[in-house]
Chain A
C-alpha cells in the first residue's frame, strides 16, 4: 500500500473539541505568536543603541493604543505558554495524566492566564500613573 494514500490520524474533522486538544494546539499557536514578542524585545533593546530619539520612538510605538493591544495579546500568549509549559514539565516527570487532573489543570491554566494578564496590565497602568 502506498503510504501517501493512508488517512492521517487523528481525524481532526470528526473529533469533538475537548479541553485537552484545544489547550494542546493553543500551546503551539502561542509559541509561534511569541516570536513576535521576541522580535519586539530585540527592537526595544536595540532601539536604545541608536540614541534617545530612537528609544523615545520605540516607547511611544509600544505605548500607543495599537502597541498596547499587541502587548496585551503577547502577555496572554506568554502567561499561557509559561503556565502550560509547567504542565508539560509535570507530564515529563509522569504526573497529571488522569482525565480529572488534566481537566482541572487545564481550567486552572486558563484562570492563571487571565489573572496574571490582568495583574500585569494593572501594574503597567499604575506605573504609567493612570491611578
Chain B
C-alpha cells in the first residue's frame, strides 16, 4: 500500500524538477510587460513614419525612450525565446535536431537582445 500522497509522489519530478514553472511564469511576466511596451512602440513607430536621421536620433535618445526600448528588447527576446522553445519541444521529435534548434534559438535571442541594447546605448551616448 502506498502511504505517500499523490502530491508527495510527484514533488521534485517532471516539470517541477526541471524548473518548468519558472519558465511558465517568465512567459507570463514578459507577456504582461509586453502589453504596454508594444502599444508604446507601435505609437512611436507610427510617429517615425518618414522621419529622417536627426528626428530618429532625437526620439531614440529622448527622456525615457532608451529605457523603454531596452525593456522592450529584453521582454521581446526573452518571450520570443520561451515561445520558440515550447514549439520546438512540441514539434521536433528527432533528438539531435531538437537540441540543435534549442541551442540556436537561445544563442540567436541572446545575441539579438545584446546587439539591440548596444545599439540603443550607442544612439544615446555615442554623440
A46 to B83, Cβ gap below 8 A?
no
Q: Of all chain A residues, which has the CB nearest B82?
A: A31
* Chain-A contact segment, one of B1-9, B10-18, B117-125: B117-125
Q: What is the chain B residue whose CB lies nearest that of A88?
A: B31
| Chain B CB within 8 A of A110 CB | no
Whole-angstrom distance between the alpha carbons of A124 and B43 in the complex? 9
Residues A120 and B46 in contact, CB atoms below 8 Å apart: yes
Contact call B119/A49, Cβ cutoff below 8 A:
yes
Q: Is the interface of A mostly helix, strand, loop or mixed?
A: helix
The count of chain A contact residues (Cβ–Cβ below 8 Å) is: 33
Is A109 interfacial (CB 8 A cutoff)? no
Are B115 and A46 in contact, CB atoms less than 8 angstroms apart? yes
Interface size class of B (residues with CB under 8 A): 35 or more
Q: Is the CB of B31 within 8 A of A56?
A: no
A45–B73 alpha-carbon span in the complex (Å): 11
Cross-chain contact of A48 among B34, B46, B57 (Cβ < 8 A):
B57
Contacts of A85 in B (CB 8 A): 31, 34-35
B-contacting 9-mer, from A13-21, A33-41, A98-106: A33-41
Contacting residues, chain A, for B57 (C-beta < 8 A): 48
User: Given A56-B53, A78-B42, A89-B31, does the pair A48, B60 have CB atoms closer than 8 Å?
Assistant: yes
Contact in complex: B49, A63 (CB < 8 Å): yes
Q: Is the CB of A128 within 8 A of B50?
A: yes
Residues of A within 8 A of B (CB): 28, 31-32, 34-35, 38-39, 41-42, 45-46, 48-49, 51-52, 55-56, 59, 63, 75, 78, 82, 85-86, 88-89, 92, 120, 123-124, 127-129
- List 23 A-B pairs, Cβ < 8 Å: A31-B83, A32-B84, A35-B80, A39-B112, A41-B41, A41-B73, A42-B116, A42-B119, A45-B69, A45-B120, A48-B119, A52-B53, A56-B52, A59-B50, A82-B39, A86-B35, A89-B32, A120-B42, A120-B46, A123-B46, A124-B49, A127-B46, A127-B47
